[in-house]
Amino acid sequence: MVKKILLILSVLAIVTVMIGCGPKEKKDVTVTFWHLDTQDDFKAAWQAQVDEFMALNPHVKIEITVLENEAFKQKVATMMQSGNPPDLFRSWGGGVMNQYAEAGLLRDVTKELKKGGFSDTIGAGPLGVYSYKGKVYGIPYNMGAVGIWYNKKMFADNGLSEFKTWNELIEGCKKLKAAGITPIALGEQDKWPGHFWFGYLAVRIAGGEAIQKAYAREGKFTDAPFVEAFVKLKELVDLGAFQKGFLGATYNDQASLTANRKAAMELMGQWAPSVQEQQTKDKKGLGSDLGFMAFPAVEGGAGDITDVFGGGDGFAFGVNAPDEAIDFMKFLMSKEQYKKLYDSPISFIPTVKGTSEWVQDPNMKAVADATSKAGFYQLYFDQAFPPAVGGAILDAVQGICAGTKTPEEAAGIIQKAWDEEK
């Protein structure tokens, strides 16, 4: 009897130990996820990714916050000041992200992303935009280029073809105006669309070397090439190339004018076609009439026509982001899931290696080609620089557009802000 009792006790002890060694229930975790794709079909695409991940990971709850571009930037800045940033939030990399990293407000995910070779699935160039001082703080899912999206039929009807030089663009605008057509749509109320014009003019006139010298404080933004970039922008304004009331128009207004054939072109990034489509009743935009061209060369400029002004989209990790936030990004950027996102209404240039064959649209191929062949790649100025300087650039451009600043004064606004960042 004693032996039987000891045997039973031994078995119970073993079972107890086995139960104790079994899988532990994972602790419930909430991940805050912020993006700025406010269109219903875009929101649905992100929600689908989140729902799939949560179904596979029942202990994880991902709370999504969606904000419009400018409201998003302001809200993120406020959260950063409080020291409690979102776990995952949209980021364009560059100066703003670097500033947050310097302040200790972002999580360094370099080691985590190397586990399992995850970092090898994204090209070094795109990943570098989301790195600072050798550490990775975010993941890019889209990298492309700003260019001129134009109505091919409208161009053909008026004897125009793609502009190769700035003078050709000016003459083309004059011809369109004479035909009663608004040459260029611009939503300057939002400020950032207008700064694309100054940014590309600086890239074409000053060139990459001069821009980098100004950034390194070996040159100034009051130097002649940057002033000349504002002179060229003023030339467009004085010509009346933009629609009436463009100072009070939003970016969606800009896209709508182009998509609904009320303007011949707009200068915008790779997302332009998808936004244009949403501005038309049939959700098809310009269809086969939509064309893409590189920003024209400026006669006498130091930059090359293959140099690109642009950027992309990605997500940065807040300093308090749990491991599950990293797991979600690994899930999102796996080739299988990434293909689902690519096939959604969200339009982007893929960054995951081995996905270039997905790009079938001729305009998107042109964007991808421009990006891959760029001898110099300049991130959007309002993202490449710290927020105060980026804001000064936007203000300087708007001063030119409103006619309240001279080119020299506009350049001075930028240099003053950059000097104050020392």
Question: What single letter denotes the amino acid at residue 326?
Answer: I
**pLDDT at position 163 over 80:** yes
Are 151 and 132 contained in the same domain? no
**pLDDT at position 251 over 60:** yes
Pairing mode of beta strands 147-151, 290-293? antiparallel
212 exposed, middle or buried (CB, 10 Å; 0-12, 13-18, 19+)?
A: middle
Render pLDDT for 351-398 as a digit per residue (tens, 0 to 9).
877 777 788 889 998 988 888 778 888 889 988 888 899 999 999 999
Q: How confident is the model at residue 19 (pLDDT cuts 50, 70, 90)?
A: very low
The percentage of residues in the chain with a pLDDT greater than 90, rounded to a whole number, is 70
- Please tell me the total count of domains within the chain: 2
Greatest pairwise CA separation for the chain in angstroms: 110
Are 250 and 332 contained in the same domain? no
Q: Is residue 109 part of a domain?
A: yes
Where does 269-366 show beta strands of DSSP type E? Answer: 290-293, 308-310, 312-317
Calpha distance 396→414 (Å, rounded): 7
Nearest CA to 329 out of 139, 187, 199 is that of: 139
Calpha distance 22→17 (Å, rounded): 9
Q: Is residue 19 part of a domain?
A: no
Q: How confident is the model at residue 30 (pLDDT cuts 50, 70, 90)?
A: very high
pLDDT of residue 116: 56
Q: Is residue 184 part of a domain?
A: yes
pLDDT of residue 1: 54
Are 173 and 222 contained in the same domain? yes
Report the CATH number that the domain containing residue 244 is assigned in CATH.
3.40.190.10
More confident residue, 96 or 195: 195
Are 192 and 245 contained in the same domain? yes
Render pLDDT for 254-295 as a digit per residue (tens, 0 to 9).
999 999 999 999 999 999 999 999 999 999 999 999 999 999
Calpha distance 232→204 (Å, rounded): 11
Calpha distance 148→269 (Å, rounded): 8
Are 297 and 321 contained in the same domain? no
The percentage of residues in the chain with a pLDDT greater than 70, rounded to a whole number, is 92
Q: How confident is the model at residue 10 (pLDDT cuts 50, 70, 90)?
A: low
Are 272 and 346 contained in the same domain? no
Neighbours of 261 (CB within 10 A): 14
Return mean pLDDT, the chain. 90
Among the residue ranges 4-8, 163-167, 260-264, the one predicted with the least confidence is: 4-8
Q: Is residue 3 part of a domain?
A: no
Domain range enclosing 229: 147-309+378-419
Q: What average pLDDT does range 404-409 have in this prediction?
A: 98
pLDDT of residue 117: 53
Are 322 and 299 contained in the same domain? no
Are 180 and 34 contained in the same domain? no
Are 173 and 91 contained in the same domain? no
Q: Is residue 22 part of a domain?
A: no
